[in-house]
Chains A and B, each alone.
Chain A
Amino acid sequence: MINYTAIYSLILREIKVFLREKERILSILISPLLFLFVIGRGVKAEVAIHNYTYQQFIFPGILAMVILFTSITYGLYIIWDKRLDFLKEVLVAPISRATLFWGKAIGGIFGSMIETIILILIGSIFIIKINLLQALLILISAIFISTMLISIGLAIGGKMKSMEGFGLVMSFLTWPMFFFSGALFEIKDTQHYLKIISMINPFTYCVDIMRKILINYSSFNIYLDIFMIFLWLIINSYIAIRIFGNLQQTK
């Protein structure tokens, strides 16, 4: 059912394309850096949470944000493949749709990794001390977080017909996922309705696990975080594979 050579070839393609489109790497970093250095520094004087400055407190959340944006954008990019007809070449190849999905999903992890590493470097220079073990743990979590989020992007991208929906997904899904995740505030001390929305948001647990690793503080039990990330990974990838199974030539 799963063809590993094919997965490898799809991953290879994604890595090559990613490395050749360097503008994408930069453009995705802009919003996180604005949050980190404008809001992070700007609000610093007023609140300090758990002995960390506000900037240090939101840094793990921004790290997760980079993964969120890279992953969802990557997933939605499959619409481009559809538009440019490159997807047809893959759809007509003798590989199962599950193979296609995993090739695409794993291929996207590479991008998230590069962005994460860049942010770890920026963070360790300007914001917070990060040791090697922490960096390693962040990267390992990033693999699963990224796959979980890419599945969402691929599922939506697989359903969408044109790139016009891209902005819509960004404003109605990606940004709300980010704001309702506790990346910018502490969930425990917040309004009741915010808490409820945050708890059904898969991204909340991604932020929480990053915070646990970096500043040893978390709103939920770490095992709950891991469980929720894997649960959503299974749900999302299942849905995405189903949608890929129904992918047909649109024109």
Chain B
Amino acid sequence: MDTVIKTYELTKKFGHITAVNSINLEIYKGETLALLGPNGAGKTTFISMLSTLVKSTSGTATLCNIDINRDPLGVRKKIGIVFQEPSTDDLLTARENLYLHSMLYGLNKNEINKKIDEIMGIVGLYERKDDFVRTFSGGMRRRLEIARGLLHEPQVLFLDEPTLGLDPSSRKNIWQYIKYIKEKNKTTIILTTHYMEEADLLSDRIAIIDYGKIVALDTPNNLKNKLGRDIVILKGDISEEIKKLDFVLNVENIEHGCKITLKDINKNLKELINKAGSFEEIEIRRVSLEDVFFKFTGHKIEEGKENNGIFETIARYKTTGK
């Protein structure tokens, strides 16, 4: 597979706080990579460096073999980006926003209008193209921004929290467009999110980021398989015996009971229940991405509490958080 982005020890420090901590990552052509992490984990800073909006403190990266530090203009020609906060011009119409964008990116003048019409059709805003952006809803703005990010046919599209603050139906709508783009244009998409289902649904690979480091990187399925396929939650007075069973991968104590991950549930559930002693409640479900996320970041955060003082934690949130 061709590599589109490669980072080398990419680091960003704000004062003595490290937002992105020597990340080495390779992103392949045509894949969708989700950067999943809690607020302030360094997701936005990471893509801001790749899109040349923030200078790295140390380390570097290449995008389509162009060094982000040496030739930021070259990099900017190859990328499209949809920011976390709205960045369309309120005082202009949808069409004007796209028109200005086309001119900034030096698109062929004769093709601009045709292209705008086409892309507005794709994101379902064709009827509203001559309306002012300030009359648009949050979901419509996002769609317009995605359209704008795609107008110049970038090789890499960055989507920073594309569905943050949108209602469920708008979110589904946006997902649909992202999937469409992915299939039609084979654009490499890098997406940050803290919605598990979004990452699960859209991405080929997921990188879980915490404290500026990648703590896990794999396909959604492999990540889930690492935990085992199924989870059994038992409530009541559970015997310690179950920890000794060889098909039990992990036991986590929760309120009034424990959360057990295990292999081959069909075969082993009966034995588990026999050994568990007296329980009042049982819940069985598949491992979700959320479980994966908590496994990788949950214990990380606790570790951090011991190392850093409360003030450092606050400072970290102030500089990197929203």
A, B in one complex: yes
Q: Which of B96-119 contact A (CB under 8 A)?
A: 96, 99-101, 103-106
Cβ–Cβ contact B87 & A9, under 8 A: no
Question: B76-102 vs A: 1/0 string, CB under 8 Å?
Answer: 110101010111111110001001110
Asked whether A5 and B54 contact (CB < 8 A) given A17-B92, A85-B85, the answer is: no
* B interface, size bucket: 20 to 34
On chain B, the residues within 8 Å of A16 by CB distance are 91-92, 96
**How many Å lie between the Cα of A20 and that of B99 in the bound state?**
18
Answer yes or no: A212 CB below 8 A from chain B CBs.
Answer: no
Answer yes or no: A12 CB below 8 A from chain B CBs.
Answer: yes
**How many Å lie between the Cα of A92 and that of B103 in the bound state?**
14
How many Å from the CB of B156 to the closest CB on chain A?
Answer: 12
On chain A, the residues within 8 Å of B77 by CB distance are 94
On chain A, the residues within 8 Å of B51 by CB distance are 92
On chain A, the residues within 8 Å of B91 by CB distance are 16-17, 20-21
Task: A84-B87, A85-B85, A86-B87 are known; give 14 further A-B pairs, CB within 8 A.
Answer: A3-B106, A5-B106, A12-B103, A13-B92, A13-B100, A85-B83, A89-B87, A92-B76, A92-B79, A92-B81, A93-B76, A95-B73, A96-B73, A248-B54
On chain B, the residues within 8 Å of A85 by CB distance are 83, 85-87
On chain B, the residues within 8 Å of A21 by CB distance are 91
Q: Which residues of A are in contact with B by a Cβ distance under 8 Å? A: 3, 5-6, 8-10, 12-13, 16-17, 20-21, 84-86, 88-96, 248-249, 251
Q: Which residues of B are in contact with A by a Cβ distance under 8 Å? A: 48, 51-55, 73-74, 76-77, 79, 81, 83, 85-92, 96, 99-101, 103-106, 148, 322
How many Å from the CB of B300 to the closest CB on chain A?
Answer: 24
On chain B, the residues within 8 Å of A92 by CB distance are 51-53, 76, 79, 81
Give the residue of B48, B53, B85, B104 whose beta carbon is less than 8 angstroms from that of A95: B104
Interface of A is mostly: helix
Cβ–Cβ contact B83 & A88, under 8 A: yes
On chain B, the residues within 8 Å of A20 by CB distance are 91
Cβ–Cβ contact A91 & B53, under 8 A: yes
**How many Å lie between the Cα of A244 and that of B90 in the bound state?**
23
Identify the closest chain B residue to A103 (Cβ): B104
**How many Å lie between the Cα of A85 and that of B141 in the bound state?**
13
How many Å from the CB of B177 to the closest CB on chain A?
Answer: 19
On chain A, the residues within 8 Å of B55 by CB distance are 248
Cβ–Cβ contact A6 & B106, under 8 A: yes
What 10 pairs between A and B have smallest CB-CB spacing?
Answer: A9-B103, A249-B53, A94-B76, A93-B104, A85-B87, A94-B77, A85-B85, A89-B87, A17-B91, A9-B100
**What are 12 A-B pairs with beta-carbon distances under 8 A?**
A3-B106, A6-B104, A8-B103, A21-B91, A86-B87, A86-B89, A89-B148, A92-B52, A94-B77, A95-B104, A249-B53, A249-B54
Asked whether A13 and B89 contact (CB < 8 A) given A85-B83, A89-B101, A94-B105, the answer is: yes
